[in-house]
């Protein structure tokens, strides 16, 4: 079998290019920056948010009252903070994706409940209206939503359809006048009892997106869920009993609903990643304040090597994560239409990183952190949901890996009609792959625009990218159509490709910094970038090595034995 088109043709996104063994550095150099006018607007909005929240927001009160407060929503709305990306003609700030995410980073560092309420409202709640609404729909809904007079929610998850979002059971029947009669149930819907919820349901032509408003007959939010964390987030069960949704409230065309839902989530995941950036900066400050003021064995905790390891790890990893998160938003702002894989990478890596970071700070603070009313205990409870919502990380890893595999498969006639890029709907099938070496010509990957001082890291990334492609080919040859079931390998590919993308973003960011202020003046960032890239490269090697050298079969067998025993089988004799 031979390639039927140029194997070096650039895929639709930078992350997918990595799987093809390519590094199109024109997509990622120079590192994206805000224009001066927008940067000034962002700073003013952040300053306004801080002034208002410092005077009016209390996290303990929010937990006690189990809501961030209508007065908080109103006050933020009056300051233009609830319509950050909405066009000025609809009462918004008109920020770019990067500008929006920089402001959302501030909320992430302030309080998780507030950040989630704001994210549900803007990142996914009213985003479908902004992205897919008609001019009339935007004019009717966006001004009130941008001003904080109304709040928006996103109605996708159901009792039997979480990660398998394609198979929602809610059904909307189209009427002769173009309206829909909606029946069904949603659960775990943030802002669900407020004002506007974009609801996704099955219909005769596939799926439909409906803008449901509070007060519509048959629409109720009868139950609020009690949760481990995020106690200020109003999480609801929603029921729809013959709810008539007028034609004017249908987003897009009937049949477009699933595409609208997935496009919204792809976009919304970016602000979750940058919110984690803000939250981690706050964690680092808490860790440093505690360890520098706490003494044990006659010396400050901050002087112990294992304490320094935890703080240093957080700073180094955050630099790479921050670089990747804002590289992704910059790709959107530059007009790249396909950013689904980059968005998923940002979501997976950021939400798992903060969970580990919270636990390390918790460890540093010891018994103080374990008290129920401690801020770090609240953070621990609040952030545990992050790897689960807006796409469970295991599912997103499959999405990343299978989307990348499809890039290789699409080079061959026999494999071109697979569905690997849509694993949320179906894991798809793939024809048996030839077991011989594929004939092709592949130009070597290079990051030619990287600063010479980062040349070692640029060369390492090029080697990793070529190895990633080779590993994908081996898996396709070895497993053929069964590759969709090889989730352990999918995780390895997803994690390796994410670390490669993060290194590229870090190299690009640091290259721009060197160009702006010189290598010597950027000494701190230089050695932080070195640390991150070296560690990320080691993780890539480990993940790709494990594709061929692993104990997967043993783990599979052990799990089956445990299933048969209904628990832990071995006994002491």
- Identify the band that residue 480 occupies on the pLDDT scale cut at 50, 70 and 90: confident
Q: Do residues 473 and 541 both lie within one domain?
A: yes
pLDDT in tens, 143-174: 999 999 999 999 999 998 888 889 999 999 99
Q: Which of 151, 182, 202 is the last residue of a domain?
A: 151
Average pLDDT estimate for 325-343? 96
Query: What integer pLDDT is reported at residue 164 of this predicted model?
Result: 84
Q: Does one domain contain both 195 and 163? A: yes
Token pair for 153 = 């929610």
Residue 4 resides in a domain: no
Are residue 475 and residue 539 in the same domain, yes or no?
A: yes
Strand partners, 236: 189, 224
Mean pLDDT of the chain: 92
Q: What's residue 430's pLDDT?
A: 36
Q: Measure the CA–CA gap between 59 and 63, rounded to whole angstroms.
A: 6
- pLDDT by residue (tens digit) across 56-78? 999 999 999 999 999 999 999 99
Reported as a single tens digit per residue, the pLDDT across 488-522 is 999 999 999 999 999 999 999 999 999 999 999 88
Burial of 478 (C-beta count, 10 Å sphere; 0-12/13-18/19+): middle
- Residue 378 pLDDT grade (very low, low, confident, very high; cuts 50, 70, 90): very high
DSSP string, 281-349: HHHHHHHHHHHHH-EETTEEGGGSHHHHHHHHHHHHHHHHHHHHHHHHHHHHHTT-S--HHHHHHHHHH
Structural domain includes residue 573:
no
Domain annotation covers residue 59: yes
Q: CA-to-CA distance for 556 and 302, rounded, in angstroms?
A: 43
| Percent helix, percent strand, percent coil in the chain, to nearest 5 | 60, 10, 30
| 235 Cα distance to chain centroid | 20
Q: How far apart are CA 335 and CA 197, in angstroms?
A: 28
Give the list of residues 6+ apart from residue 439 with CB closer than 8 angstroms, or none: 2, 3
Same domain for 226 and 196: yes
Considering just the CA atoms, what is the radius of gyration of the chain in Å? 24
CATH classification at residue 553? 1.20.140.10
Q: What is the pLDDT of residues 272-313, one digit of tens each?
A: 999 999 999 999 999 999 999 998 898 999 999 999 999 999
Q: Which residues are designated catalytic?
A: 390
On whether both 204 and 103 belong to a single domain, the answer is no
Q: Does residue 565 form part of some domain?
A: no
Q: 522 and 437 in one domain? A: yes
Q: Is residue 232 domain-shared with residue 283, that is, in the same domain?
A: no
Is 191 found in the same domain as 265? no
Domain end: 151, 176, 199, which one? Answer: 151
Mean pLDDT, residues 396-403 taken together:
96
Confidence of residue 443 (pLDDT cuts 50, 70, 90): low
Task: Write the CATH number for 195.
Answer: 2.40.110.10
Last residue of a domain, one of 107, 131, 151: 151
Instruction: Give the chain's domain count.
Output: 4
In a domain, 363, yes or no: yes
d(C-alpha 321, C-alpha 346), whole Å: 8
- Assess if residue 358 is contained within a domain: yes
Closest CA to 506 of 514, 496, 494, 518: 514
Q: Are residues 220 and 138 in the same domain?
A: no
C-alpha angle 96/100/101, rounded to 5°?
120
> Is 567 domain-assigned?
no
Domain contains 6: no
pLDDT in tens, 222-239: 999 999 999 999 999 999
Asked whether residue 353 falls in the same domain as residue 421, the answer is: no
Question: Are both 248 and 204 inside the same structural domain?
Answer: yes
Nearest-angstrom CA–CA distance, 322 and 273:
8
141 and 233: one domain? no
How far is residue 411 from each of residues 13, 114, 245, 442, measured CA to CA in Å?
16, 46, 44, 12
Give residue 7's pLDDT band: very low, low, confident or very high (50, 70, 90): very low
Residue 5 has pLDDT above 70, yes or no: no
- Diameter over CA atoms, the chain: 80
Q: Assess whether the previous peptide bond of 30 is cis (omega < 30° from 0).
A: yes
The full DSSP string for 408-474 is HHTTSGGGTT--TT-TTT-----PPPPSSPPB---PPP--TTS-GGGHHHHHHHHHHHHHHHHHHHH
- Residue range(s) defining the domain that contains residue 294: 261-383
Q: What is the mean pLDDT of residues 174-201?
A: 97
């Amino acid at each position: 079998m031979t390639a039927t088109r140029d194997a070096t043709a650039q895929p639709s996104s930078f992350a997918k290019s990595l799987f093809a063994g390519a590094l199109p550095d024109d997509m990622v150099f120079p590192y994206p920056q805000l224009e001066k006018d927008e940067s000034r607007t962002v700073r003013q909005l952040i300053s306004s948010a801080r002034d208002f929240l410092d005077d009016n927001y209390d996290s303990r009160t929010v937990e006690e009252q189990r809501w961030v407060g209508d007065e908080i929503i109103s006050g933020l709305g009056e300051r233009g903070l609830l319509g950050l990306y909405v066009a000025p003609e609809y009462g918004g700030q008109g920020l770019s994706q990067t500008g929006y995410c920089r402001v959302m980073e501030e909320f992430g560092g302030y309080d998780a409940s507030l950040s989630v309420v704001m994210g549900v409202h803007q990142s996914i709640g009213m985003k479908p209206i902004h992205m897919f609404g008609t001019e009339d729909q935007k004019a009717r809904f966006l001004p009130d939503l941008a001003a904080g007079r109304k709040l928006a929610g996103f109605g996708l998850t159901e009792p039997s359809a979480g990660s398998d979002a394609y198979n929602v059971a809610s059904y909307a029947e189209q009427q002769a006048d173009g309206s829909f009669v909606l029946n069904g149930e949603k659960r775990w819907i943030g802002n669900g009892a407020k004002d506007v919820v974009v609801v996704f349901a099955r219909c005769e032509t596939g799926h439909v997106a409906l803008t449901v408003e509070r007060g519509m007959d048959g629409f109720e939010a009868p139950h609020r869920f009690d949760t481990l964390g995020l106690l200020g987030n109003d999480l609801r069960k929603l029921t729809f009993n013959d709810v008539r949704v007028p034609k004017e409230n249908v987003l897009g065309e009937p049949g477009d609903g699933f595409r609208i839902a997935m496009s919204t989530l792809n976009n919304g995941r970016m602000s979750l990643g940058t919110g984690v950036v803000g939250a981690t900066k706050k964690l680092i400050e808490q860790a440093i304040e505690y360890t520098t003021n706490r003494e044990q064995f006659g010396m400050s905790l901050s002087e112990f090597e294992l304490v320094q390891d935890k703080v240093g790890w957080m700073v180094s990893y955050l630099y790479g994560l921050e670089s990747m998160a804002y590289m992704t938003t910059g790709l959107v702002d530059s007009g790249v239409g396909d950013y689904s894989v980059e968005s998923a990478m940002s979501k997976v890596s950021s939400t798992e990183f903060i969970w580990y970071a919270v636990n390390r700070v918790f460890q540093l603070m010891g018994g103080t952190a374990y008290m129920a009313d401690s801020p770090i205990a609240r953070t621990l409870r609040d952030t545990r949901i992050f790897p689960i919502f807006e796409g469970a990380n295991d599912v997103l890893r499959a999405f990343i890996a299978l989307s990348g595999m499809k890039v290789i498969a699409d080079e061959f006639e026999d494999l071109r009609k697979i569905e690997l890029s849509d694993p949320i709907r179906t894991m798809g099938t793939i024809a048996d792959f030839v077991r011989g070496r594929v004939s092709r010509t592949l130009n070597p990957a290079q990051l030619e625009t990287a600063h010479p001082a980062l040349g070692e890291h640029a060369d390492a990334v090029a080697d990793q990218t070529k190895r990633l492609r080779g590993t994908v080919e081996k898996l396709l040859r070895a497993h053929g159509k069964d590759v969709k079931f090889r989730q352990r390998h999918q995780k390895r590919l997803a994690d390796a490709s994410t670390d490669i993308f993060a290194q590229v973003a870090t190299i690009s960011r640091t290259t721009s910094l060197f160009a702006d202020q010189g290598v010597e003046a950027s000494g701190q960032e230089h050695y932080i970038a070195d640390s991150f890239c070296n560690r990320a490269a080691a993780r890539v090697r480990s993940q790709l090595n494990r594709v061929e050298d692993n104990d997967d079969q043993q783990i599979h067998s052990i799990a089956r034995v445990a299933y048969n025993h209904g628990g832990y089988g071995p006994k002491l004799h």
